[in-house]
Structure 1
Amino acid sequence: MIPSDSSDAQAILAARHHDPFAWLGQHPAGDAWVQRAFLPDAIAAEILLPSGVAQAMQRSESGPFFLATTAKPLPKPYRLRWQDAEQDWHEGFDPYSFDPLLGELDLHLFGEGRWLDAYQTLGAHPRVVEGVAGVLFAVWAPNAERVSVVGDFNAWDGRRHPMRARGQSGVWELFLPELPVGSLYKFELRARTSGAVFVKTDPYAQAFELRPATAARVVRSSHQWQDQDWMAARAERDWQHSPMSIYEVHLGSWRRRADGSFCSYEELAEELVRYCQEMGFTHIELLPVMEHPLDESWGYQVSGYFAPSSRFGDPDGFRAFVDHCHQQGIGVLLDWVPGHFPRDTWGLARFDGTALYEHADPREGEHKDWGTYIFNLGRNEVRNFLLSNACYWADVFHVDGFRVDAVASLLYRDYSRKEGEWVPNRYGGRENLEAIDFLRELHTALHERHPGILSIAEESTAWPMVSRPPYLGGLGFSMKWNMGWMHDTLDYLQLDPIFRRYHHNALTFSQLYAYTENFVLPLSHDEVVHGKGSLLDKMAGDPWQRFANLRLLFAYQFAHPGKKLNFMGNEFAQGREWNSGQALDWDLLEHDWHRGVQQMFRDLNRLHQGLAPLHELDFHAEGFQWIDCHDAEQSVLSFLRRDKQGNVVVIICNFTPVPRHHYRIGVPQPGIYREIFNSDAAAYGGSNVGNPPLASDAQPWSGLPASIALTLPPLAALYLVGSA
């Protein structure tokens, strides 16, 4: 027996040793070398020498420590054998016989916030080290006295696998040899100041077990990508002048299986992608697919920033989903939440016993509206966490872009705060300077690594140059949601048509700012939740008028400059407010009016993609011209959409339920004008009021050289094209 009065041994037993590699493993001892192992379940142990001979190890007097002494150092790594209380023998490499694996340059870049590939090392990663397969664990916890890997492989015992501290970096690492893929794990930490011991999930975990369980899972990808053509074309695509119709989807409630359970990524890849192709959408935008503990948060309270939700399958299932989308010509955008994170004690909150990822001061670090914490973007390692996360989804999952949630909450220190509840910046202002720098750095990194990738801001204020490049002083987003257009248009369409004449400017105001940013016109999930009802519910009038108003809304959206976004269910007039706990009401398609809206939506998408004037100059004033924006008395708008070649589509919208006969509008050149779209068509559920091909008159009108007199259907939009 060997004595165990060593302070190192006592610290290991108490699970508070800051540097276990300084005592466990192999170390010089005078003229000899000593090998120490901590084996709590062992009653006997041996060390396997290079010759193949097993040398017995001595057990300490009062603890499960085993020691061997050799005249020369053993080649590392070396193997141990031990016998448990049931007399069974076990064999494996000693984790403490491996040298450090994390590179000094990587740790230096992490400290500077410039290690964009941190996701390749931090977390849990299968590795082969010195010819030995295993898993490398690494985590950032600078204020911990001790960090251990715990899991289903060590009885969740924090004494068994304490990690190596990597100096001033605050990073801890441990390579566990021969650990199988699929193992569940967490990190157990002991706070330096309080001595409190707590268990946390891995911030960089790439997979989790199914909620409500919260352990991370070791995974390895075997997916073979088949989207090379898409990725090459994306890098060259002129997205600003291309059609974009985005289908916003919550994977948990688009469809459900017959028993009410979630569909898998593979099932969704088959059904959702086929549906989007049939409907003519160009992109799918997913409400946060990152792991989250609460279904009712719709994914916006993210707990696993690097892990696709296990509700729908494993990470390779999500890879297959994206791959299939790309092979079928559909882009994938992810809703991304860098503005806040939940307070769950097992997650990022107070990760090492201190306010590590969040601000310590609640005036900076808490969103009271959402009950969440705010990332401390002034800390390099936190900024690195988010930068690496965005790069991860683009690098590893080939996503085509991000919709960044709640950008205003990032930009303003006084966001949703009263006087005295916020901390000014160093100049005394309300702008969050660290967030501005972060967003610019984010977009610079993404566009350097992935030409053609998109980022879209959900930003509701008048912050300038949101969608302009950082080198011009902008934030670097590709596009921004046009919240003003959305609110003005929906408010207008909720009015009884008799009152709309007094609010005509709600429709015309958007042209005063339409080209200050690259705008997306969003009819999103935010408009069909929290008691707001469905879009159909918002429309004024009797049932026929409500459907007509809804068809007019979509026709106006597709005619207005800007890329298009619609939440699932909009396209067939979902009748009730969205409920994330059940599938959409697909049985509504048994009814003509709903089926008609869906058919119209399909046709609008085809026109939007096929007619360059409807998309090519979305962000340029020369792509739009009013014909008449002053007819408030009759609540009629008319305008032109142009492409680069000067081709024109004529748009007329009648926002009253009154058909208007012999209504004259100017047209850009003489010729025959024919309807290519009428939202009042019988096939869509309308009254089928329309026009045959119309020959223009030589009479100038509204400053244009010719004109036509036509019939305007009630609560409807017409698209016309002319020919000589």
Structure 2
Amino acid sequence: MPGPGGSVTIDRQVAEALVAGRQEDPFAVLGPHRTDQGDRIVALVPDAERLWAVGAETVELSPVVPGLFCGPWDGGPYRLRAENALATWDFDDPYAFGPVLGAIDEYLIGEGTHRRLWEVLGAHAITHEGRRGVHFAVWAPSAKRVSVVGGFNNWDGRRHQMRRRGMTGVWEIFIPALMPGEAYRYEILGAEGQLEPLKADPVGFGAEHPPAKASVVRELDLHPWGDAAWLAKRDKAQAVRAPVSVYEVHLGSWRRVAGEGNRPLSYHELASRLVDYVADLGFTHIEILPITEHPFDGSWGYQPIGLYAPTIRHGRPEEFAEFVDAAHRRGLGVILDWVPGHFPTDDHGLRRFDGTALYEHADPREGFHQDWNTLIYNYGRREVANYLEANALFWLDQYHLDGLRVDAVASMLFRDYSRPAGEWVPNAEGGRENLEAIAFLQSTNRLAYGEKPGIMMIAEESTTYPGVTRPVDKGGLGFGFKWNMGWMNDWLRYFAREPIHRRWHHNELTFASSYIYSENFFLPISHDEVVHGKASMIGKMPGSDVEKFANLRAFYALQWGHPGKKLLFMGQEFAQWREWSHERELDWNLLDYLPHQGVMRLIRDLNRLYRETPALHWGDADPEGFSWIEADDAEHSVYVFARRAPGLPPVVVAANLTPVERILRIGLPQDGVWREVLNTDSAWYGGGNRGNLGGITAMREPTSRCDFSAEAYLPPLSVVMFTPGAA
């Protein structure tokens, strides 16, 4: 074996391939190796003119080609010392370190069953073989070479070429001395030897502020959680029989800081201001539009690039954790809109990640969304399904989220979604169902509920696909809840009509109650209903301003009275006139005016009544919790129904949806005094203050399916609720 000062050689073709960044196995050459000529070190330091290995002895390595050095070594630990005309610097050789990923990780990744994929892929600050640094790992099976690039290596893909791990398609490298906060991307040489656009990390935990495109090394687990009390009771707070009312919010436009360039609030600011606001209004949950990192503000987060990164627009990962923790400490759950249905075509994202259609289908008839100009995940590829399944668990586990609302499920279920004949590919059985996507959704729901009992998986699903909330083992998709888009469309259509025409469309009001128990439903008035020319909720209502407010109050009271969990998008709780825009904050100045204050008071009281009255929530998904009393009085646009809970007082909800006052005999489940517990015409809410002087008295006089009845005054365009007992 040659000693220090001896000579060893390296094949010139190999040397030139290394310097050109076209050596498919750099770890086979770089670093310390035992060869037929003896032990040697090979190091690639493109900007060095001289290079030494420094250990027990110091040995100068000889240049092979510019930037590549080789020399003998005695096998002990070493560092490298480089010199050029400008500086001398010492550093650890990344090629002197062994692999980080273990055999079990490789096996599970290859099998597509690594439930905690984020613990092995991505960028992790770790201590490895006694040195602190960052471990990078990325899946790119068709790549000929993958490198980590960043400011730390002058964005030079030759310097940190990664190690290929067997047949899994994973590449990894440990870079000593690198710290959290570093920006990085992957430089990939594709299957045909072509250099791909620089890529963000698919499992990156942070990113630069858009429009910058790099991922950023971020540490997880920095926030000290204090939500054990919430987590202990979460399963009861989110059960099918629990009161669940959700405030949906786009964090970037809820409030802004005008004195600081109109910036959005930080996670830290939201942890107090938004959480306090939602708790004061009595909602049980906050649902946030996607905060997974996305390049374009106007996508509202629904075209994400970084599925594992909370957007830097509001702060770092630990600050997002602080926001969730603050909500939990106030007794509020947090739901995230999650987008596994598609991803954008941006070159720095998943599109042709390793030079091939890796995450997406190669055939655009399967892999391209014409409506949204996005790409569709290949759910039939086990590694892709694993990537998404693990991502769902990541948010539930790492950030203690209480549920995921899965976006655009209908587009996932059907291969012909929004496609004309001839522009879609049938499944293996010749049908239109996307069998692979169905299996993926079932697997994800099984995993989520199995790993995190008490969470909620919620489908935004707009078709009549059966069994969305049926358990997987009974043939369903396994979601806990489904958004009721049919109810939403019918009621918005009905309430937009002039009251004189409503009698001809009474079925739009009552039809939802005929199928309300076919799934476990949410009743959503979401962001999608108050944008793109659809008008705000108050803007949809007909009549004079006074009538618009009366109609809106009646709508909300019926929504809260009707079976189904509740969801309302921000701004609608105080009747914002303008449509929502992501570019500005809500019109908070409207709360200077009494009618808008009144709507907010109504929402607060509806939430309180809903929470405190079991009859209004126990049967949200149980047929025993609802019965019609008067569903056929189309002529007067009157609708009356009862809500029930076993052994507890019922609530009767009576609606008069014309601008004409009604004095009617309404059926009631029992005799005696019935207290008026809510009246949307109350002056407290901005109404005319007409009502029943606190209550009505029922007697045995059969009316409308009931043995008892009472004469009740129903104010114009109003909803009144009654429950047994003296006022």
Provide the TM-score with structure 2 as the length reference.
Answer: 0.97
Distance 2:298 2:328 in 1: 29
- In structure 2, the residue matched to 1:230 is 230
Cross-structure match for 2:283 = 281
Distance in 2 separating the partners of 1:246 and 1:270: 18
Structure 1 partner of 2:368: 366
* 1:612 alignment counterpart: 614
Match of 1:241 in 2: 241
Alignment partner, residue 218 of structure 2: 219
1:128 aligns with 2:127: yes
**Whole-Å separation in 2 of the counterparts to 1:530 and 1:27:** 63
Q: Report the equivalent of 1:29.
A: 35
Counterpart check, 1:56 vs 2:60? yes
- Residue by residue over 1:443-470, the C-alpha shift from the partner in whole angstroms, topping out at 9 and shown as x without a partner, is 1111111000111100000000101111
Task: Report the 3-state secondary structure (helix = DSSP H, G, I; strand = E; otherwise coil) of the residue aligned with 1:109.
Answer: helix
Equivalences for residues 324-343 of structure 1 within 5 A: 324-343=326-345
> Could you tell me which residue of structure 2 aligns to residue 69 of structure 1?
72
Q: Which residues in structure 2 correspond to 1:451-462 (within 5 Å)?
A: 451-462=453-464
Unaligned runs of 5+ in 2: 1-6
Matches within 5 A, 1:3-152: 6-30=12-36, 32-49=38-55, 51=56, 53-60=57-64, 62-70=65-73, 72-75=74-77, 78-86=78-86, 88-152=87-151
Matches within 5 A, 1:292-303: 292-303=294-305
Q: How far has the Cα of 1:5 moved from its partner?
A: 5.2
**Which one-letter code corresponds to 2:15 in the other structure?**
A
Q: Distance in 2 between matches of 1:295 and 1:530?
A: 16
CA, structure 1 residues 197+642, in 2 after alignment: closer, same or farther (shift >3 Å)?
Answer: closer
Task: Check whether the contact 2:614–2:648 (CA below 8 A) recurs between aligned residues.
Answer: no
Please list the CA deviations of residues 275-304 of structure 1 after superposition, one character each: whole Å capped at 9, or x if unmatched. Answer: 011100100000001111111110001011
Cα offset, 1:231, TM superposition: 1.3
| Same amino acid, percent of matched pairs | 51
> Separation in 2 of the partners of 1:508 and 1:31?
87
Q: Distance in 1 between matches of 2:673 and 2:191?
A: 81
Matching residue of 1:705? 707
TM-fit CA distance, 1:6: 1.9
Q: Which residue of 1 aligns with 2:252?
A: 252
Cα separation, 2, equivalents of 1:646 and 1:602: 23
Superposed structure 1 runs of 4+ greater than 3 Å apart: 1-5, 235-238
Range 117-126 or range 2-11, more displaced: 2-11
- More displaced 10-residue stretch of structure 1: 584-593 or 97-106: 97-106
Aligned AA (2:319): G
* Aligned counterparts of 1:175 and 1:632: Cα–Cα separation in 2: 72
CA shift in 2, pair 1:715/1:236, >3 Å: closer
Alpha carbons 1:2, 1:59 under 8 Å: kept: no
| 2:708 maps to 1:683 | no
- TM-superposition CA deviations, 1:627-683 (whole Å, max 9, x none): 11111110001111001224201110001010112x101111111112110000011
Q: CA deviation at 1:4?
A: 6.3
**Which among 532, 535, 539 is matched to residue 534 of structure 2?**
532
C-alpha RMSD over aligned residues: 1.3
3-state secondary structure, aligned to 2:253: coil
Deviation at 1:25, TM superposition (A): 0.9
Q: Verify the 8 A CA contact 2:8 2:72 in the aligned structure 1.
A: no
Secondary structure of residue in 2 paired with 1:595: helix
SS of alignment partner, residue 344 of structure 2: coil
* Stretch deviating more after TM superposition (289-298 or 39-48): 39-48
Mapped partners of 1:404, 1:384: distance in 2: 16
Aligned 8 A contact 2:237 2:243 in 1: no
Contact 2:105 2:120 in 1 (8 A): no
Counterparts in 2 of 1:433-448, with a 5 A limit?
433-448=435-450
How many residues of Structure 1 are paired with residues of Structure 2 in the alignment? 716
Letter of the 1:251 counterpart: L
Distance in 1 between residues matched to 2:634 and 2:102, nearest whole Å: 68
Residue type matched to 2:50 in 1? A
SS of the residue corresponding to residue 7 of structure 1 reads: helix
What residue number does 1:170 align with? 169
AA aligned opposite 1:183: E
Q: Secondary structure at the match of 2:590?
A: helix
Aligned counterparts of 2:698 and 2:329: Cα–Cα separation in 1: 45
CA shift digits 1:365-398 (9 cap, x unpaired): 0001000000000111111110111111111111
CA distance in 2, matches of 1:367, 1:59: 53
Deviations 1:87-120 (A, max 9, x none): x321222111111111122122112221011111
| SS of match in other structure, 2:258 | coil
Provide the C-alpha distance between the structure 1 equivalents of 2:30 and 2:567, rounded to a whole number of angstroms.
58
- Separation in 1, partners of 2:319, 2:195: 39
Unaligned stretches of 5+ in structure 1? Answer: none
Separation in 2, partners of 1:40, 1:161? 11
Question: Partners of 1:26 and 1:700 in 2: how far apart?
Answer: 94
Q: For residues 217 and 246 of structure 2, what CA distance do their matches in structure 1 show?
A: 34
In the TM superposition, residue 237 of structure 1 has moved relative to its aligned partner by 4.5
The 5 A counterparts of 1:174-193 are: 174-193=173-192
1:410 to 2:412 alignment: yes
Code of the residue aligned with 1:203 in structure 2: it is P
Write the distance in 1 (CA, Å) between the matches of 2:382 and 2:563: 39
Within the candidate set 644, 659, 662, 2:661 is matched to 659
State the distance in 2 between where 1:96 and 1:115 align.
27
For residue 640 of structure 2, the aligned residue among 633, 638, 641 is 638
Instruction: Report what 1:649 is aligned to.
Output: 651
Which residue matches 1:720? Answer: 722
Q: What letter matches 2:111 in structure 1?
A: E
Render the CA deviation track for 1:343-364: whole Å, top value 9, x for unaligned.
0011111111111100000000
- Residue 235 of structure 1 contacts residue 450 of structure 1 at CA under 8 Å; is this kept in 2? no
Amino acid at match of 1:68: G
Which SS does the other structure have where 1:42 is aligned?
coil
User: Within 1, Cα distance between the matches of 2:472 and 2:75?
Assistant: 56
Equivalent of 1:500 in 490, 499, 502: 502
Tell me which residue corresponds to 2:475: 473
Structure 1 counterpart of 2:4:
none
CA contact (8 A) 1:123 1:204 kept: yes
Question: 1:329-408 to 2 correspondence within 5 Å?
Answer: 329-408=331-410
Q: In the TM superposition, what is the alpha-carbon distance from 1:483 to its structure 2 partner?
A: 0.5
Q: CA deviation at 1:705?
A: 2.0
Counterpart CA distance in 1 for 2:196 and 2:218 is 27
Deviation sequence 1:523-581 (CA, Å, 0-9, x none):
00010011111011111111111110000000000000000000001100010111110
Matched, 1:542 2:563: no
Q: Does the CA-based 8 Å contact 1:190-1:198 persist in structure 2?
A: no
**Do the aligned partners of 1:41 and 1:85 also contact (CA within 8 Å) in 2?**
no
In 1: Cα distance, 2:8 partner to 2:38 partner: 16
**Residue in 2 aligned with 1:195?**
194
Residue 454 of structure 2: SS of its match in structure 1? Answer: coil
Q: Letter of the aligned partner of 2:42 in structure 1?
A: R
CA contact (8 A) 2:660 2:717 kept: yes
Structural mapping, 1:564-583, within 5 Å: 564-583=566-585
1:671-706 CA-to-partner distances (Å, cap 9, x unmatched) read 111211000001111111100222222222223221
Contact 1:28 1:34 in 2 (8 A): yes
Q: Look up the match of 1:463.
A: 465
- The amino acid of 1:256's aligned partner reads R
SS class of match (2:173): strand
**Which whole-Å deviations, capped at 9, do the CAs of 1:55-85 have from their partners, x for residues lacking one?**
222222x321222213x4225xx32122232
For 2:378 and 2:82, locate their aligned partners in 1 and report how far apart those are by CA, in whole Å. Answer: 46
1:673 equivalent in alignment to 2:674: yes
What corresponds to 2:3 in structure 1? none
- Partner Cα separation in structure 2 for residue 310 and residue 723 of structure 1: 53
- Whole-angstrom distance in 2 between the partners of 1:338 and 1:288: 11
C-alpha contact (below 8 Å) 1:617/1:644 kept by paired residues:
no
Are the aligned partners of 2:251 and 2:288 in contact in 1 as well (CA < 8 Å)? yes
